[in-house]
């Protein structure tokens, strides 16, 4: 099956599950891309917010930009060799990464509905730097439940390795191995952690790098 068909199947499956779940939920206001909250004020994630998380995490600038960087590095290294060190190879590598991201995000967002797991990242800007770094690491493997408490992110722990081993069925032979899938799983969690770090610290850095006109006056 082609990469495009795998992507389309993942998106359609996820959209169908969300459409059914959303019919029983009220329409929420647009969420903050990196919400700031604590357990006592936590509001459970809605179906529409799950859909927005999926779209942003799959097709947002962070994901697409990361794909350009990843595909560029692998093209320069000519890995996997089946694609070749040229523009067609770059396109194949980019599409392959996007198919994996789409499938993994669809799996996580869909499976997480079974026990009310929230896939979003929540910032803690009022904590000290060390606490914020610890939160970035913690939220790589944990998620909030409907009552706001933190628990292991079981959907993510299932979806990340599940997606990477499943993708062996349509990857080039040289990387369609158990070792390759295990390595991609590790990189998947490291990528999630780096994304959390960006969401945690970039808003703070942006205010310092680009102060508002009001603060300058």
pLDDT at 67 over 80: yes
Spatial separation of the C-alpha atoms in residues 211 and 70, rounded to whole Å: 32
Structure tokens at 19: 């459409």
Spatial separation of the C-alpha atoms in residues 125 and 209, rounded to whole Å: 17
pLDDT at 5 over 60: no
Q: Are 158 and 107 in contact (CB under 8 A)?
A: yes
Least confident of 5-9, 19-23, 48-52: 19-23
Residues whose CB falls within 8 Å of the CB of residue 57, separated by 6 or more in sequence, listed in order: 63, 101, 105, 119
**81 vs 30 pLDDT, higher one:** 81
Q: Model pTM?
A: 0.76
Q: What integer pLDDT is reported at residue 217 of this predicted model?
A: 46
As a whole-number percent, the residues of the chain with pLDDT over 90 amount to 60
3-class SS at 170? coil
Average pLDDT, the chain: 83
Give the model confidence (pLDDT) of 164-183 as tens digits: 999 999 899 999 999 999 99
């Amino acid at each position: 099956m082609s990469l495009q068909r795998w992507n389309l199947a993942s998106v359609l499956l996820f959209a169908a599950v969300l459409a059914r779940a959303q019919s029983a939920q009220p329409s929420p206001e647009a969420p903050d891309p990196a919400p700031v909250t604590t357990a006592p004020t936590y509001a459970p994630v809605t179906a529409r917010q799950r859909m927005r998380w999926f779209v942003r995490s799959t097709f947002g600038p962070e994901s697409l930009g990361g794909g350009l960087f990843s595909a560029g590095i692998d093209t320069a290294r000519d890995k996997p060799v089946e694609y070749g060190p040229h523009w067609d190879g770059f396109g194949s590598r980019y599409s392959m990464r996007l198919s994996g991201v789409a499938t993994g995000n669809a799996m996580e967002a869909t499976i997480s509905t079974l026990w009310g797991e929230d896939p979003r990242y929540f910032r803690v800007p009022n904590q000290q730097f060390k606490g914020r770094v610890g939160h970035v690491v913690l939220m790589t493997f944990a998620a909030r439940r409907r009552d706001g408490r933190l628990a292991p992110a079981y959907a993510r722990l299932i979806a990340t390795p599940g997606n990477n081993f499943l993708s062996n069925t349509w990857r080039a032979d040289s990387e369609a191995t158990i070792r390759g899938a295990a390595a991609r799983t590790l990189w998947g969690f490291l990528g999630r952690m780096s994304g959390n770090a960006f969401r945690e610290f970039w808003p703070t850095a942006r205010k310092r790098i680009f102060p508002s006109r009001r603060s300058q006056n």
